[in-house]
Chain A
Amino acid sequence: MIAGRVVVAGQADGEALVTAEPLSFWGGYDFHTGEIIDRHHPLAGVHAAGRVLAVPFSKGSSTTTAVLLEAVRAGTAPAAILTTGVDPFFALASIVADVMYGKSFPVIALGPADFASLRTGERLSVGVDGRVQRG
């Protein structure tokens, strides 16, 4: 079990999708399908919809938040996002999705060692208190 810092509280379960590379959702995420499309990114071609996405932080465009808001509306957003530091872009998308559609996703900041211990494919369960449980 991992104790993270709650950035935006919420509960979610899903299969982990883990990357050490930061991601811009604008130019990096197709909200129509939930596919990661940034050709420069190691997860290019992988679908993240409904999964617990572990990405250290966002990079690039200011439009990352708007893409994530569209993804929440379209039902193609990750179930939760785990980061290393507090990432305001991911947090904002979740907060505005809550305001607009009553739907948000948990955003949890983990310590670097905990983040590094995550493996793609493992089942993760994110609790409202920021705890991340395996299996």
Chain B
Amino acid sequence: MLDGAHGPAPQLAMSILVRMADVYGARELMDISQAHIDSTIYLGDATLEFAERLASLGARVAVPTSLNVSGVDECGWKDWAVSPEWAAKAARQMLAYERMGAVPTWTCAPYQTRMRPSFGQQIAWGESNAIAFANSVIGARTERYPDLLDICCAITGRVPAVGLHLEENRGGQLLLRLVGVPAALQRDDQFFAVLGHLVGTLADDLIPVIEGITVTPAEDHLKAFAAAAASSGRVALFHVIGVTPEAPTLDVAFRGGAPGRRLDITVADLRAARRELTTADGRDLDMVILGSPHFSLAEFRALAPLVAGRHAHPRVKFLVTSSRLMKEEADKAGVLAPAVAFGAQITLDTCILASPMLPPEIKTLMTNSAKYAYYAPSLLNTRVTFGSLADCVNSAAAGRVVRDESLWQTA
């Protein structure tokens, strides 16, 4: 490929890949059978020029490839503060990646689509939450691929044979033991997001192993954990004893070795981590935002009974970010209509962090997503209150922040 025999696009992609293989210290490249492209996120002229350069050279993906969120909701952007210039350029970037033959999934939760990889599958995924989920919850194998490299891997079908692709590098390195954390708290729907936020800050560049989970987390709880840990930190693989597939026991999680480091996690640590996710100090509320990573069918199902027969306060926006596919499924299942009747707006294929949607008068947000809570203060210059899904709905209805603190105070 490097000599151009396969055409100019594979040559360009391979030239970047080979230089990166040197950086990674890889002795060889290896095959992958799937990719997920985070480079879809439009930032400005450079990301667009990169995409259009590849597309104009005739680039085609060599393996089944899903696409992450884009920079614009093509159908809904006019309802928001997105400028026509931004919308046009973000749409051009979407088109460039579609032209390369990728599947237009437009979601940051590709593991909840038909493109979900399988245990042990070698893949090249971008998007920090998706990387952590694929490695940890599914047991697929991907390094932490950055934007611009993910598409080079997809075009060539190759990756440097290093890191988390190799079994010997997937063992735990840091033992995090929950001490005195009651099951009632573990069942709370904020728990895994809060724990993920804390684990991200504790893990540095180590692979954390969490011991002491006594409940069976739902897939969306593990999704929230992965997204939180990959935002506050750089976690690309974690093991939860008795929960994730490569960690049936402590011994297996550490591949027979001893943990290099150990830390205990107490209820007090979790309370402090939860407090960190709230940067707002009053009860003012302009908008409730759900869906980072993208809202799933199960999450729409959980939302429906909470909003049934109620209405959001006229002063408060209620936004759910998801993908066009998931919205369709929720609609078919009858769980979209109650949200819409409540006053929910649905933004598709992007999110408030990837598209400049929010008008400047929106200053205070509430969310159940640790990822939104982590990034919104910096990216959107807003203040955030973190709470449960029920807290978010109750607050939207009341027009001001209301949180049920009972469980977190008494635990």
Contacts and interface: CB of A to CB of B under 8 A. Distances in A.
Contacts, number: 119
A19 interface: no
A28 interface: yes
A121 B55 CA distance: 43
B234 A96 contact: no
B46 A7 contact: no
A86 B38 CA distance: 22
Interface string A39-64: 11000100000000000011111111
Contact of A91 (B20, B41, B127): B20
Q: Is the interface of B mostly helix, strand, loop or mixed?
A: helix
B128 A100 contact: no
Contact of A100 (B24, B53, B145, B205): B53
A78 to B, nearest CB: 16
A118 to B, nearest CB: 19
Interface string B29-41: 0000000001101
A73 interface: yes
A31 to B, nearest CB: 7
A99 B12 contact: yes
A72 B12 CA distance: 19
B47 interface: yes
A37 interface: yes
Nearest to B377: A39
Nearest to B354: A63
Interface in B117-168: 126-128, 131, 144-150
Interface in B230-256: 230-234
Contact of A92 (B20, B25, B205, B279): B20
B233 A65 contact: no
Given A85-B205, A88-B146, A96 B233 contact: no
B43 interface: yes
Nearest to A32: B44
Between A59, A93, A100, the greatest number of chain B beta carbons within 10 A of the residue's beta carbon is seen for A59
Between A7, A27, A40, A62, the greatest number of chain B beta carbons within 10 A of the residue's beta carbon is seen for A62
Contact of A38 (B15, B24, B144, B378): B378
Interface of B: 12, 15-16, 19-20, 23-25, 38-39, 41, 43-47, 49-50, 53, 126-128, 131, 144-150, 204-205, 230-234, 279, 353, 374-375, 377-379
